[in-house]
Amino acid sequence: MNIQTAVLPPHAEMVRAMLERDTAYEGVFFTAVKTTGIFCRPSCTARKPKPENVEFFAHADECLTAGYRACLRCKPLDAAAIAPDWVQRLLNAVDADPELRWSDAQLLAAGIEPLKLRRWFKQHFGMTFHAWLRTRRLGMALGGIRQGTSIDHAAFDSGYESLSGFRDAFQKSFHITPGRAEQSEPLLFTRLTTPLGPMIAMAERRGLVLLEFLDRPALTGEVEALQSRYGYAVAPGHNAHLQQIEKELTAYFAGKLNVFTVPLHLPGSEFSRQVWAALLQIPYGHTSTYGAIAAGLGKPGASRAVGLANGHNRLSIVVPCHRVIGADGALTGYGGGQPRKAFLLRLENAALQLTQPLAF
């Protein structure tokens, strides 16, 4: 069995999603039109072809291998959430010299159009490149203050010529004053690319705290709660946990990893942590129900509460809330969207079947 073809939804479902331009299926499949030789995202606004002239693929590279060209209107290669080479080179350069200012002139000298860069960062990070760069430097200042660097030195090391300007920018970014930063835990975040669209990962020194699809409606509220309730100061950056989850996600989507080993830190109520611990016990390629989890916790009447805690899970895929289904077998809700939930379950089932010994 080929994992790439096994993860496709049923044919009729893909036809319906294509005809209705259903954005919930972004990254779940691609449409390739035999009569034009072009492949698109499901939500492409171009005139829809007749279903009999379309074939479906799970991945953009399959479309390219089959001889199709990417649509110029919906840009399906961008939809695959792969950071362009020119963006990756810039990010590597920032890592190599985080104090560099990167004026528009320097960007142009590096072959990067500033307006194009601004649009890409707004789309994928929710802020411009220069705003991201400033927040990243402030995150480094936060780390320095926690390690004993004076506020004066942190301000000037971050490129601020006045302490008042540094204090204002610091408080605007982290919702705390520099003086309180010693008691605040830095929560570093980065954007990750996956076949189902971009995700955001956040980690502190103890482990991964958040992993969500960027289009999840509850994401803003989750981040605000981490800041206000748990005292985190959120900033762009990298650490070992973020590097590890990026590698593990790549292996997971390739069907080569069924147990995540990245350290986790799960702030929440005692009951929520019990539910999340139960989710971690659901084997790869298998499912459970809200009722079964409630019974396993010794609270058989708490199915609704289990469902609520399941919905508050901040670690998509890693804490596998997608493996919880209704008592009648229905997929029920999923913060990342039911098409993604179905995709993940098909992916795991296909990979699991490949590892099963053949019966004779």
- Residue 356: inside a domain, yes or no? no
- Evaluate whether 196 touches 336 at the Cβ level (below 8 Å): yes
Last residue of a domain, one of 53, 79, 105: 79
Q: Token digits for 241?
A: 């946990």
Same domain, 274 and 200: yes
Q: For residues 180 and 6, what is the distance between their CA atoms, to the nearest angstrom?
A: 52
Same domain, 96 and 124: yes
Q: Tell me the DSSP string of 197-262.
A: --EEEEEETTEEEEEEETT-TTHHHHHHHHHHTT-EEEEE---HHHHHHHHHHHHHHTT--SS--S
Same domain, 33 and 108: no
Condensed to tens digits (0 to 9), the pLDDT of residues 177-225 reads 665 656 667 888 888 878 787 788 999 989 999 999 887 878 888 988 8
Same domain, 174 and 197: no
Question: In the predicted model, is pLDDT for residue 161 greater than 80?
Answer: no
- Residue 31: inside a domain, yes or no? yes
- Residue 117: inside a domain, yes or no? yes
- Residue 359: inside a domain, yes or no? no
CATH code of 150's domain: 1.10.10.60
Amino acid 359: pLDDT:
47
Same domain, 191 and 177: no
CATH code of 7's domain: 3.40.10.10
Amino acid 80: pLDDT:
47
Question: In the predicted model, is pLDDT for residue 3 greater than 60?
Answer: no
- Residue 70: inside a domain, yes or no? yes
CATH code of 195's domain: 1.10.10.10
- Residue 358: inside a domain, yes or no? no
Same domain, 49 and 95: no
Same domain, 106 and 66: no
Same domain, 121 and 60: no
Q: For residues 152 and 171, what is the distance between their CA atoms, to the nearest angstrom?
A: 15
Beta strands 288-289 and 207-213: pairing type? unpaired
CB proximity list for 102: less than 8 A, separation 6 or greater: 94, 129, 130, 133
Beta strands 30-33 and 54-57: pairing type? antiparallel
Phi then psi for residue 34, to 5 deg, are -65, -35
Same domain, 188 and 242: yes
Q: For residues 327 and 336, what is the distance between their CA atoms, to the nearest angstrom?
A: 21
Amino acid 360: pLDDT:
43
Same domain, 345 and 197: yes
pLDDT band at 144 (very low <50, low <70, confident <90, very high): low
**Range with top average pLDDT, 45-49, 60-64, 77-81, 148-152:** 45-49
Same domain, 94 and 159: yes
8-12, 111-115, 154-158: least confident range: 154-158
Same domain, 107 and 139: yes
Question: In the predicted model, is pLDDT for residue 12 greater than 80?
Answer: yes
Q: For residues 317 and 313, what is the distance between their CA atoms, to the nearest angstrom?
A: 10
Give the chain's count of helices (H) and strands (E): 16, 10
If one counts the domains in the chain, the total is 3
Print the domain residue range for 28.
3-79
Last residue of a domain, one of 79, 111, 128: 79
Q: Token digits for 132?
A: 């991201």
- Residue 360: inside a domain, yes or no? no
How many other CB atoms are there within 10 angstroms of residue 196's CB atom?
23
- Residue 15: inside a domain, yes or no? yes
Q: Which of 193, 273, 185, 291 is nearest to 230 (CA)?
A: 185
Last residue of a domain, one of 181, 203, 227: 181
Catalytic (active-site) positions: 321
